[in-house]
Amino acid sequence: MNTVLVAEDNEKLRQLMGTVLVKNGYQAILVEDGQQALDLLETTHVDLLIADIMMPNVDGYELTRRLREAGYLNPVLMVTARESFRDKQMGYLAGTDDYMVKPIDVNEMILRVGALLRRAKIASERKLTIGELVLDYDSITVFRGAEETPLPQKEFYLLYKLLSYPNKIFTRIQLMDEIWGMESETDLRTVDVHINRLRERFRKDNEFEIVTVRGLGYKAVKLV
C-alpha cells in the first residue's frame, strides 16, 4: 500500500483529501504545515507528497525545495489557490512534479496521484517502454524490436529522465545537476546541444517529442 503525506493547513480540505485517499486504497498521513511534513519525513517513508503552497512556518515552495536538496526523489503534487504562470513556474523550479489549482476535484486528484506513482515506479525499474521503443538503463541502449540504438551516456540519461516523467518540466539547471553533477563546470548550453542531438536522432520516430517550454526548460510529450 502506497503512503501519501498531505500537508495542508485547511482542516476541512485536509480531512477530505485523507478520506478520499483512504477510500481509494492509499495510506494517508495528514499534517498542518511544511515543518510538520519535514519532521515526519525524517523518520517515515512516504511514497508521494501532496503539499499546499500557502502554509504557515514552511510553505509548499520551501518544503519542496528542501526535500529536493536533501535528495528526496518521490513525487510531489502541489495544491494551491494561486494559478498564475509565475506561481506555477516557482512550483516547478522548486521541484514539484504536478500542480493542481483550488478548488480541486478530489477525483482528479486521485487520478494524478496514481499517474505520479506509476511514473515513479517506472523510473525505479530501470526499463522504460514507449510504443515500440524500449529504453534499457543498464545497457544505455534504446531498442526498437531487434534493432539497437546505443547512445552516448549523457544523451541516454537525459532522454531516460525526460521520458520517465512525461509532461513534467525540467529546468536546464535541474538536468545539468542530475546528469552532469552539481560540481560540473560544464556550460548550461551543453543541455541544449544534447537535446538537439536527441531530437535529430529520433526525428523520424513517432513515440515522443521533446518540447522547449519557454522560460522554464524542457519536457517530453508522449505521442502514443
Cell of 112: 494524478
99 residue type, one letter = Y
The domain segmentation of the chain, as residue ranges, is 3-119, 126-222
**DSSP one-letter string for 181-196:** -TT----THHHHHHHH
**In sequence order, what are the residues at sequence separation of 6 or more whose Cβ sits closer than 8 angstroms to the Cβ of residue 153?**
140
- DSSP 8-state code for residue 25: T
Task: Give the Cα separation of 56 and 32 in Å (integer).
Answer: 8
> How confident is the model at residue 183, as a pLDDT?
64
User: In degrees, to the nearest 5, what angle opens at C-alpha 166 toward C-alphas 161 and 170?
Assistant: 55
List, edge to edge, every strand of the sheet that includes 170-171: 170-171, 217-222, 208-213
Cis previous bond, 103, omega within 30 = yes
**74 DSSP 8-state letter:** S
**CA atoms 150, 212, 173, 109: torsion sign:** negative
Predicted pLDDT of residue 196? 95
Contact 38, 21 (CB under 8 A): no
Average pLDDT, consecutive stretches of 10 residues, N- to C-terminus, the chain (224 residues): 93 95 95 94 92 92 91 89 82 89 92 87 76 89 89 93 89 86 75 94 91 92 88
Owner of C-alpha cell 518540447: 211
The answer to whether residues 14 and 32 touch, using CB atoms and an 8 Å cutoff, is yes
* pLDDT score at 224: 80
Grid coordinates given for 38: 519535514
* Cell reading at 181: 553533477
User: What is the residue type of 193?
Assistant: V
The pLDDT, as a whole number, for residue 182 is: 64
Residue 137 CB-density burial (10 A; 0-12 exposed, 13-18 middle, 19+ buried): middle
Q: What is the CATH number of domain 3-119?
A: 3.40.50.2300
Q: Does domain 126-222 have CATH number 1.10.10.10?
A: yes
pLDDT of residue 123: 63
| Sign of the dihedral through C-alpha 64, 65, 66, 69 | positive
The answer to whether domain 3-119 and domain 126-222 are alike in fold is no
